[in-house]
A = this chain, B = another copy of it.
Amino acid sequence: MPATIGDVARLAGVGRGTVSRVLNDRPNVDPATRERVQRAIAELDFVPSLTARRLSLGRTNTIMVVGPFLTRPSAVERLSGIQAALSATSLDAVSTSVETTERRVAVIRDASRPERADGLILIHIAPSTIELERILAAGIPCVLVDAHHRRLPRVVVDDVDGGQLAARHLLDLGHKRIGFIGEVPLAEFGFSSTRLRLRGVVRVLRSAGIAIPDEHVIRGEHNREGARLSALALLAGERPPTAIIAASDTEAMGVLEAARIRGLRVPEDLSVIGYDDIDVADFIGLTTIRQPLFRTGTRAVERLLGIIAGDDPRPLREVLPVELVVRSTTGPAPV
C-alpha cells in the first residue's frame, strides 16, 4: 500500500538508483534532479522500508538487550540510559528480560546472530563458554554491563570499592558486628556484583582485624520479601549484627522492614546500607552506595556503536566509580 522507491522514481521521471542516491545523501546527483526527486518523495509521503533496507544492507539496524529481571528499578535505569543513547540514532532496541535458564539460552542463541542484530548488550549476564564461542564466531559486537568476562568489552562499576566504602563507613561509626544480605548466586546468571561487593566488605573488615562470620552472610531471593526473611534470620541469631549491608536498595528495604518487625530502631539499634541509590532511596533516607546506573547504559551503547563502527574495543574493561551517600539509616554503633 505505501509508496515504494519505484513509485518515486516513476513520478520523478528518474531511475530507482537515482532515488536511492538522493535518499542516502550521496554525491553525483544533479541538484535539479535531486530537487525533483525530493519533491516526489514529499508528494508520495515516501519512507523507505526498513525491512528492505535491512535485507539489502545486511544490517539489522537493531540492537538486542538481554538480561535477567529487567524490570528491577536498577535495570530500568540502565535500560533508560541505553534508550537515551540510542534515541539519537536510528537503531531499534529490542530488550528481553529473561528469568529462566531456558529463556536465557534461547534468547541469547537467537540474539547472537548477525542477521538478527547488529549488536548485543548483555546486562548482568556473563556468557557461558558456549555462548561466548557463538558470539565470537558470529562476530557480533557485544558489550557487557555489570557483568564480567575476560574476553569481552564490558562496562562495570567498581563493586569491590562499593563494598569497601560501605564497610569503612560502618567501621568509622564503630560497628564491629556487620552482616551482609544478598541474593543467591544463580548458577546460570553470574551475579558477580554481589560477590564483588562482599569481597570489598570482607577485605576492609579483615584489615581492621574483624572477621565476618559465615552466619552473618545470608543469601535469599533478590527482592524485599527475600531480604526481609534473610534479615529476620540474621537478627534472630545469638549476637546479631549491629549493621547490615544489603546488596541493593530494594533488599535494604527488606532489611528495614525486618528491623521494624523486630522493633529495632534505625539507626540507633541497627544501621542499614543499601546499594544503587535508586529513586526512592532518597525518600526513605537510605544510606547507600550510589552507582551510575544510567551511565552504564549510555556508555555501553557508545562503546557498542564504536565497535560496530570498527573501533578497537580495548581496553575491554571500563570501570565507573561508585560513591557513598550517607543518609539517615546509618549511625554510631550501639554501646
Contact = CB atoms under 8 A, between A and B. Distances in A.
Interface of A: 1-2, 47, 49-52, 54-55, 60, 62, 71, 73, 76-77, 79-80, 83, 87, 92-97, 103, 110, 113-116, 138-139, 224, 253, 256-257, 279-280, 283-284
B47 A51 contact: no
Copies of this protein in the assembly total: 2
A47 B224 CA distance: 41
A51 B52 CA distance: 8
A1 B114 contact: yes
Contacts of A55: 49, 51-52, 55
Contacts of A139: 1
A115 B50 contact: yes
27 contacts: A1-B114, A1-B138, A1-B139, A2-B113, A2-B114, A47-B110, A47-B113, A49-B115, A50-B115, A51-B54, A51-B60, A51-B115, A52-B55, A55-B55, A71-B77, A76-B76, A83-B96, A83-B97, A87-B96, A87-B103, A92-B94, A93-B94, A94-B94, A224-B279, A224-B283, A280-B280, A283-B284
A170 to B, nearest CB: 23
Contact of A253 (B52, B80, B87, B283): B283
Contacts of A113: 2, 47
A280 to B, nearest CB: 5
Contacts of A1: 114, 138-139
Rank and list the top 4 A-B pairs by shortest CB-CB distance, nearest first.
A49-B115, A51-B54, A71-B80, A92-B94
A54 B116 CA distance: 12
A183 B69 CA distance: 30
A49 B57 CA distance: 13
B76 A71 contact: yes
Nearest to A103: B87
A115 B83 contact: no
